[in-house]
């Protein structure tokens, strides 16, 4: 089943086409990475999904529910942790969660056990009576996540959930997200930490200038667009005639993965010239290299 299906989405602001024909599907159970440079149209796309932005053309379905015709049903399946904090400054953090559940029609009496559990899971139980202005940045991030999860959404949308948090908390959040994804929550994640997407997301979609420029299994993206190479370190400069896909840089020889079959030739030449090999290492492209190449930024 498709958790989210976006077809030919268009959204323009007076001087900019923020989303220009975006289509992609997120399958139930996916941990889906949505990547793009600043201003690429990620948040606008997400705002169209949750009904914060009106779109001029296209279709969006959430678990088969049209997000315009069946707005309430579609919206109730989504939990959103937005990039910007949008808490009511006069509520204490327990009430932030209780009120959020209220927006989904769940009364306080019913939601309290879940609120308590979430405050505990996100290590906020000691602060439940504090209002959000008195929380640290990391605590605010945790509260944003807890709030997104309060009504047990089937699709969790996270717009840069680890922006500005320290390494330890980032790892904790990764662990928690991987765990709830395993338990069946579909996750759509936008992040500027590409290593985060590479680590967590089984699929990755890259958007640039409002258009999708890549959408595949994260593993395939890394493999297919690979410009990885093998680096051979020798004890002296080698004198070998030009070979395709092979570069000689002093004591270093680079054999690009596209010319991997040339590796035997290179070793044979080195052996004939009595040049010793000191080290051989394989260097793989990261999703970051690929992202930078695709978006040319
Ligand atoms: P970032 O990574 O910086 O958050 P993004 O990929 O989420 O970027 P968007 O916030 O969707 O990008 O912005 C896409 C384009 O739409 C940008 O040019 C932005 O200036 C413009 N834009 C976004 N919201 C509005 C708005 N409310 N009014 C006018 N223009 C907007």
Query: Ligand 1 within 6 A of 86 CB?
Result: no
Query: Ligand 1 within 6 A of 39 CB?
Result: yes
151 and 6 share one domain: yes
Q: Most confidently modeled of 3-12, 267-276, 283-292? A: 3-12
226: confidence class by pLDDT, cuts 50, 70, 90: low
Cα–ligand 1 centroid distance for 19 (angstroms): 9
170 and 256 share one domain: no
- Identify the domain boundary among 173, 193, 217: 217
129 and 266 share one domain: no
207 and 251 share one domain: no
Closest listed residue to residue 17, CA positions, set 34, 43, 41, 38: 41
Query: Ligand 1 within 6 A of 163 CB?
Result: no
- Identify the domain boundary among 194, 217, 240: 217
Cα–ligand 1 centroid distance for 37 (angstroms): 11
283: confidence class by pLDDT, cuts 50, 70, 90: confident
283 and 231 share one domain: yes
Give the residue, out of 17, 19, 44, 48, with the most ligand 1 atoms within 8 A of its beta carbon, to mutate for a pocket test.
Answer: 44
Tokens of 150: 């309060």
Across residues 138-154, what is the average pLDDT?
93
Percent of the chain scoring above 70 in pLDDT: 97
Question: What is the CATH classification number for the domain harbouring 81?
Answer: 3.40.50.300
193 and 283 share one domain: no
150 and 241 share one domain: no
pLDDT at 96: 93
Cα–ligand 1 centroid distance for 12 (angstroms): 10
Query: DSSP letter string over the chain?
Result: -EEEEEEEEEEEETTEEEEEEEEEEEETT-EEEEE--TTSSHHHHHHHHHTSS--SEEEEEETTEETTTTHHHHHHTEEEE-SS----TTSBHHHHHHHHHHHTT--HHHHHHHHHHHHHHTT-GGGTTSBGGGS-HHHHHHHHHHHHHTT--SEEEEESTTTT--HHHHHHHHHHHHHHHHTT-EEEEE-S-HHHHHHH-SEEEEEETTEEEEEEEHHHHHHHT---EEEEEESS-------TTEEEETTEEEEEGGGGGGHHHHHHHHHHTTPPEEEEEEEPPPHHHHHHHHHT-
Give the residue, out of 40, 80, 81, 197, with the most ligand 1 atoms within 8 A of its beta carbon, to mutate for a pocket test.
Answer: 40
141 and 27 share one domain: yes
Please tell me the least confidently modeled range out of 128-132, 249-253, 292-296: 292-296
Query: Ligand 1 within 6 A of 44 CB?
Result: yes
- Identify the domain boundary among 217, 235, 266: 217
pLDDT at 192: 79
270: confidence class by pLDDT, cuts 50, 70, 90: confident
Supply the pTM of this predicted model: 0.81
Q: Which tens digit of pLDDT belongs to each residue from 169-211? A: 889 899 999 999 999 999 999 987 888 888 899 999 999 999 9
Query: Ligand 1 within 6 A of 297 CB?
Result: no
pLDDT at 227: 63
pLDDT at 291: 77
Query: Ligand 1 within 6 A of 16 CB?
Result: yes
100 and 242 share one domain: no
Across residues 116-143, what is the average pLDDT?
88
Query: Ligand 1 within 6 A of 210 CB?
Result: no
Nearest CA to ligand 1 atom 10: 43
203 and 59 share one domain: yes
pLDDT at 11: 96
Alpha-carbon dihedral angle through residues 220, 222, 223, 228, given to the nearest 10 degrees: 180
Across residues 238-267, what is the average pLDDT?
81
Across residues 74-85, what is the average pLDDT?
92
Domain span at 55: 2-217
152 and 57 share one domain: yes
Cα–ligand 1 centroid distance for 18 (angstroms): 6
pLDDT at 225: 64
Q: Which tens digit of pLDDT belongs to each residue from 2-50? A: 999 999 999 999 989 999 999 999 999 999 999 988 889 999 999 999 9
Q: What is the number of structural domains in the chain?
A: 2
126 and 35 share one domain: yes
């Amino acid at each position: 089943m498709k958790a989210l299906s976006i077809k030919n989405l268009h959204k323009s602001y007076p001087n900019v086409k923020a989303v220009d024909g975006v289509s992609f599907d997120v399958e139930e159970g996916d941990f889906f990475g949505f990547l793009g440079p600043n201003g690429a149209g990620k948040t606008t796309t997400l705002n169209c999904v949750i009904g914060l932005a009106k779109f001029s053309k296209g279709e969006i379905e959430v678990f088969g529910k049209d997000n315009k015709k069946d707005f309430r049903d579609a919206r109730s399946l989504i939990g959103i942790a937005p990039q910007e904090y949008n808490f009511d400054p006069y509520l204490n953090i327990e009430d932030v969660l209780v009120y959020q559940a209220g927006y989904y029609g769940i009364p306080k009496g019913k939601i309290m056990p879940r609120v308590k559990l979430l405050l505990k899971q996100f290590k906020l139980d000691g602060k439940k009576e504090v209002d959000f202005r008195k929380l640290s940045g990391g605590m605010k991030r945790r509260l944003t996540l807890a709030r997104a999860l309060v009504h047990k959404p089937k699709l969790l949308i996270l717009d840069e959930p680890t922006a500005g948090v320290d390494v330890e908390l980032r790892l904790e959040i990764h662990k928690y997200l991987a765990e709830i994804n395993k338990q069946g929550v579909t996750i759509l994640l936008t992040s500027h930490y590409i290593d985060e997407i590479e680590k967590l997301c089984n699929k990755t979609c890259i958007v640039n200038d409002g258009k999708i420029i890549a959408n595949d299994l994260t593993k395939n993206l890394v493999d297919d667009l690979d410009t990885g190479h093998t680096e051979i370190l020798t004890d002296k400069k080698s004198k070998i005639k030009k070979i395709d896909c092979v570069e000689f840089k002093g004591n270093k020889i680079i054999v690009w993965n596209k010319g991997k079959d040339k590796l035997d030739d290179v070793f044979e030449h080195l052996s004939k010239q009595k040049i010793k090999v000191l080290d051989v290492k394989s260097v793989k492209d990261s999703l970051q290299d690929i992202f930078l190449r695709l978006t040319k930024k």
